[in-house]
Amino acid sequence: MKKDEVPYGSDVSAGSYACADCGYKYSNQSKKSLPPCPAFDANSHPKRAWKILSGRGDAAQDPYPNGR
């Protein structure tokens, strides 16, 4: 089952992502951990996650495949 969102810090495949809280768009061209949103604020970003726009989301090697 494909996830719609992945938490900050997840190892993901290349693709495009949008902050699940504010919509900031981020493109990841290589497999690496997703950073926190640049506009992150604990009060306005309760989901602490990225919405998957393109790509496959969690990489097979993700240390947090079910979120944190």
d(CA 36, CA 68): 14
pLDDT, tens digit, 9 for 90 and up, residues 21-59: 999 999 988 767 889 999 999 999 999 999 999 876 655
Q: How many CB atoms lie within 10 A of CB 57?
A: 21
- Largest alpha-carbon pair distance within the chain? 31
CA distance 23 to 21: 6
- CA angle, corner 9, sides to 44 and 48, nearest 5? 15
Q: What is the pTM of this model?
A: 0.75
Q: Is 31 helix (H, G, I), strand (E, B) or coil?
A: coil
Domain boundaries, the chain: 5-54
